[in-house]
Amino acid sequence: MPPNSSQTSFLLRGSGLLVVLLVFWWFALVNPLLLLLRGSAEICWGIFVNHAGKLIAETPAGDWSLRVPVEFTMPASSREPAPVRIHSIDFDVARTEAIAFTFSLPVYWAIVLAAPGIRRNLRALVLGSIAVTAVETILFLAFAEISAHNVAAQWSRQQADLSGWILRFGYHLVVDVVPYVAPFFIALGIHRELRRQIFRSGDPETAAVSADRPEHSNRNKRRLQ
């Protein structure tokens, strides 16, 4: 059997499971996962941000309206002759944008269920799902903060080149990078057998022979003694 046959089987199983789970996610799990995301985000918001008001309110169209506390001053303008102190920013997030923060969970399930070992899969499935949900919640909160600071920087007209670049880079990581790579890193960190299968080198039979050599040498030493 070729050395990479197990990797090929894993990729085929993972690809098939990914298609099935993404279809199941889109038609059956989007609404429950959005409720989970909203609830976990509100809980973390209340604990860590220590803000009395709610973060998320749903609009009649099904989008999310976010209120993020941001302290800044708007400069005087033709409409406002004096500077105005702003304490929070309200902005809407399209439902499709919020759905993107639930995408990582079915991807993680496909990776773990394609891995060998049923018992290890069940344990990794539960622990990893909790970890992925926590990461998605943190990413959504970071998205809300970055978006609010982007709006504040535009309104205050005080966006420096460095701070603007940091905000754009952070937004890119939170929206376009981490949600897609986090399931793979979490799966590799939790599932030991999957990590061995992906990163092992050489022929498994050769590895088994080399692993047996220390045992044979120990037996020879005992016989000599």
Closest C-alpha to 185, from 131, 139, 114 = 131
What is d(CA 93, CA 171) in angstroms, rounded to the nearest whole number? 14
pLDDT band for 30, please (50, 70, 90 cuts). very high
Look at residue 21 and tell me if it is in a domain: yes
Residue type, 18: L
Our CA angle for 201, 202, 203, nearest 5°, is 130
pLDDT category of residue 101 using cuts at 50, 70 and 90: very high
Residues 63-70, mean pLDDT to the nearest whole number: 92
* pLDDT tier for residue 120 given thresholds of 50, 70 and 90: low
In a domain, 75, yes or no: no
Angle made by CA atoms 93, 99, 105, in degrees to the nearest 5: 145
What's the mean pLDDT in 112-121?
A: 78
**Which alpha helices (H) appear in 157-203, and where do they start and end?**
161-172, 178-190, 192-199
Q: Is the pLDDT of residue 155 over 90?
A: no
Q: Is residue 157 part of a domain?
A: yes
| Residue 107 belongs to a domain | yes
Q: Is 188 inside a domain boundary?
A: yes
d(Cα 45, Cα 56) in Å, to the nearest integer? 10
Residue 186 lies in a domain: yes
How long is the chain? 225
Q: Is the Cβ–Cβ distance between 112 and 121 less than 8 Å?
A: yes
Of 1, 11, 12, 2, the residue nearest 198 (C-alpha): 11
- Rounded to an integer, what distance in angstroms lies between the CA atom of residue 77 and that of residue 98? 34
Is 176 within the bounds of a domain?
yes
Q: Does residue 79 sit within a domain?
A: no
pLDDT higher for 212 or 45?
45
**What pLDDT shows up at residue 203?**
45
Which residues form the domain of 141?
5-54+96-206
Specify the number of domains making up the chain. 1
